[in-house]
Chain A
């Protein structure tokens, strides 16, 4: 990894941790917290997304599972840390079953099956009203201060980022890349592709479920639509792919870009918010297209600073 990239990463993550500790109250507190949560979702999405090429449209399933397990534990009388441990364990079991089921699917089918799982969980949480509060959702009292919640979330982001870097540099990361290139060829040279996929998906699922429970602890409320949220899944996907930078920088910068763009568009402009956001998405996609064409490459080279 180049020195500038390491220092850059340190600056971003450090700034987020300091912001989390410094701004815990008011709107800025919520803004920083949602930035961190989106970061955890995008980085964890990117683990199988980047190495295995698996695009999940239902990454928020794990987020919702974590939130609901935590919420139900609290309503059953558990305090914060026992509820946290219990919900991480329960979510891990749930995530294991889901990943075991879906790990064998091809790319397109995997995307859609994950979407299906998300919808099933959304409907189940609406139907099991006595446990989940139905479509109104669960409301829990404050179990941990906002400051502590922000700090825990910031450390979870650091841990997820570290997990991303370590995984991609490990033997399993290489296995994943081989599996993505050709599953048959990978198996022929003795790579246990199914295990690789399951491991990668589990590493991705656990931070997402922890993000869900921290989100509930911070906001006191989760509903089927906000917990098993398609918007959150799509934001994670966009954040992971919108900035064409390799490694951990891609999703981190993606989250910064998307969260900042949404913030400005939805608070500073009256009307045509979606259209403006759409234009940003289009521009980002076109930028990738322009980069890939000969003419575009030549044009970009003229403006590049310090490229070797």
Chain B
């Protein structure tokens, strides 16, 4: 056995390297702002949310290419159109990392406006940096009330608060008047719990009785106990408020154990869910921000951006929400006519703009208006089923059974 040895030179090398990096970092904070609009964001390229939004830097770059192809955004104070550039870091699906990078986006990269990270827990931490430094921050997929109950003035969110996430679905159920009972299966994380809290109230308003509630941890692998208890209560609707991996695992086992309610509602039933379930996904209802055939705003631009980014909407159903945030940021800058944050933020808060998902405006606490539409997988395709003005197919109830 030999003992480890080390050399003085190695120790010096490590130290010089580190202090060199710190010096470079210190230097980079004094960099001048060039003639461009800098939009800062973090994307969960690693960590647990990477399967949901991992490639979205490509989406941002594709949007920038589209806008810059038209000459950029007109900024009155600059007297010309300025190109946009997204500066993006990997937040590792982690709040403190996101917070650190938003500080960097603000003080090193001098971002003019910030787009939020994915998910409520990460946004909860990241938005503190924006508020402390007074930089406009547009949250995207983060609708937990806890984020907006803190009295922050520099944070707005494109989408509506979590409890209203499924309100159109319950409107439909009430109008149809067929379902009477519901069982809830809820993943124990921020967003699904928020959605559940709203769905519970909305379902009661729609005249349904909650016969069972099962709150399960995010990493649950075996759902048999929950499924046998649901079978004992025979609900009309099984409402699964959960993220995609959880939903796939639950639905697979529900199909295997022959759980047959009249309807499964799985809030996130995107393409990964559909592929993972195969024929078992048929008839499942869920929520969508956008599907082919919806005609608000500029859907053709969205389609072009998606094509350019190489991202499939089926696999990444959050892409429309990100697109709406891009549209909001663009409109806010154009209408403020300036990159001065003190002018940008009031304009943003008063903004009323048509996006691909409908009209976006913000409440006093920053919460937005965009909501999802109930959609159903019918013959392997997604169809909006309510409201009737934009529905692409009628609601199939009961859904196709196993």
Binding site for B on A (CB under 8 A): 4, 8, 11-12, 15, 19, 23, 25-28, 30-32, 34, 123, 126, 133-137, 139, 219-221, 223, 225-226, 231, 243-246, 249, 253, 256-257, 259-260, 263-264, 266-267, 273-274, 288, 291-292, 297, 300, 303-307
> Which residue in B4, B99, B128, B146 is a CB contact (below 8 Å) of A292?
B4
Give the docked Cα–Cα distance between A134 and B128 (Å). Answer: 18
Give A2's nearest chain B residue, CB to CB: B8
Give B5's nearest chain A residue, CB to CB: A291
Contact A245–B11 (Cβ < 8 Å): yes
Render B88-103 as a binary contact track against A, CB cut-off 8 A, 1 for contact: 0110001110011001
Binding site for A on B (CB under 8 A): 2, 4-11, 14-15, 17-19, 21-22, 25-26, 29, 45-46, 89-90, 94-96, 99-100, 103-104, 106-108, 120-121, 124-125, 128, 144, 146, 150, 188-190, 217
Give B2's nearest chain A residue, CB to CB: A292
Which of A31, A243, A246 counts the most chain B CB atoms within 10 A?
A: A31
> Which residue in A223, A244, A257, A304 is a CB contact (below 8 Å) of B125?
A223
Contact B94–A226 (Cβ < 8 Å): yes
| B148, chain A: closest CB distance, angstroms | 12
The 7 closest A-B pairs by CB, nearest first: A26-B107, A256-B18, A260-B18, A27-B104, A27-B107, A244-B4, A260-B21
Contact A30–B100 (Cβ < 8 Å): yes
Decide: A274 near B46, CB < 8 A? Known: A221-B125, A266-B90. yes
Which residues on the A side are within 8 Å of B21 (C-beta)?
A: 260, 263-264
Contact B25–A136 (Cβ < 8 Å): no
| A243, chain B: closest CB distance, angstroms | 7
A-B contact pairs, 5 of them (CB 8 A): A26-B103, A27-B106, A219-B96, A226-B96, A306-B8
Decide: A136 near B121, CB < 8 A? Known: A12-B15, A231-B94. yes
Contact B188–A135 (Cβ < 8 Å): yes
Give the docked Cα–Cα distance between A257 and B10 (Å). Answer: 11
Which residues on the B side are within 8 Å of A133 (C-beta)?
A: 146
Decide: A305 near B8, CB < 8 A? Known: A12-B15, A30-B103, A253-B15. yes
Contact A137–B9 (Cβ < 8 Å): no
Which of A4, A260, A306 counts the most chain B CB atoms within 10 A?
A: A260
Give A15's nearest chain B residue, CB to CB: B19
Which of B96, B128, B188 counts the most chain A CB atoms within 10 A?
A: B96
Decide: A243 near B19, CB < 8 A? Known: A27-B104, A291-B4, A300-B7. no
| B96, chain A: closest CB distance, angstroms | 5
Give the docked Cα–Cα distance between A30 and B104 (Å). Answer: 9
Which residues on the B side are within 8 Å of A221 (C-beta)?
A: 95-96, 99, 124-125, 128
Give the docked Cα–Cα distance between A133 and B147 (Å). Answer: 12
A225-B121, A244-B5, A260-B22 known; 6 other A-B pairs, CB under 8 Å? Answer: A27-B108, A28-B26, A219-B99, A221-B125, A244-B4, A273-B90
Give the docked Cα–Cα distance between A25 and B29 (Å). Answer: 11
Which of A31, A136, A288, A297 counts the most chain B CB atoms within 10 A?
A: A136
Which residues on the B side are within 8 Å of A244 (C-beta)?
A: 4-6
Which residues on the A side are within 8 Å of B95 (C-beta)?
A: 137, 221, 223, 225-226
| A144, chain B: closest CB distance, angstroms | 14
Which residues on the B side are within 8 Å of A28 (C-beta)?
A: 25-26, 29, 107
Give the docked Cα–Cα distance between A19 and B19 (Å). Answer: 11
Contact B14–A257 (Cβ < 8 Å): yes
| A121, chain B: closest CB distance, angstroms | 15
Decide: A297 near B2, CB < 8 A? Known: A28-B107, A273-B90. yes
Decide: A139 near B7, CB < 8 A? Known: A26-B103, A26-B107, A27-B104. no
> Which residue in B11, B26, B146 is a CB contact (below 8 Å) of A23?
B26
Contact B144–A136 (Cβ < 8 Å): yes
Give the docked Cα–Cα distance between A133 and B14 (Å). Answer: 41
Give the docked Cα–Cα distance between A305 and B150 (Å). Answer: 58
Which residues on the B side are within 8 Å of A259 (C-beta)?
A: 18
Give the docked Cα–Cα distance between A133 and B15 (Å). Answer: 40
Contact A267–B121 (Cβ < 8 Å): no
Contact B90–A27 (Cβ < 8 Å): no
Contact B9–A139 (Cβ < 8 Å): no
Give the docked Cα–Cα distance between A219 and B107 (Å). Answer: 16
Which residues on the B side are within 8 Å of A305 (C-beta)?
A: 7-9
Contact B128–A135 (Cβ < 8 Å): no
Which residues on the A side are within 8 Å of B10 (C-beta)?
A: 243, 245
Decide: A136 near B14, CB < 8 A? Known: A223-B95, A304-B9. no
Give the docked Cα–Cα distance between A6 and B342 (Å). Answer: 51
Which residues on the A side are within 8 Å of B29 (C-beta)?
A: 26-28
> Which residue in A15, A249, A260, A292 is a CB contact (below 8 Å) of B17?
A260
Give the docked Cα–Cα distance between A223 and B97 (Å). Answer: 12
Which residues on the A side are within 8 Å of B2 (C-beta)?
A: 292, 297
| B224, chain A: closest CB distance, angstroms | 21
Which residues on the A side are within 8 Å of B188 (C-beta)?
A: 126, 135
Give the docked Cα–Cα distance between A245 and B96 (Å). Answer: 30
Give the docked Cα–Cα distance between A34 and B22 (Å). Answer: 13
Decide: A135 near B189, CB < 8 A? Known: A256-B15, A273-B90. yes
Give A294's nearest chain B residue, CB to CB: B2
Which residues on the A side are within 8 Å of B18 (C-beta)?
A: 256-257, 259-260
| B44, chain A: closest CB distance, angstroms | 13
Give the docked Cα–Cα distance between A259 and B15 (Å). Answer: 12
| A187, chain B: closest CB distance, angstroms | 25
Give the docked Cα–Cα distance between A297 and B190 (Å). Answer: 54
Which residues on the A side are within 8 Å of B26 (C-beta)?
A: 23, 28
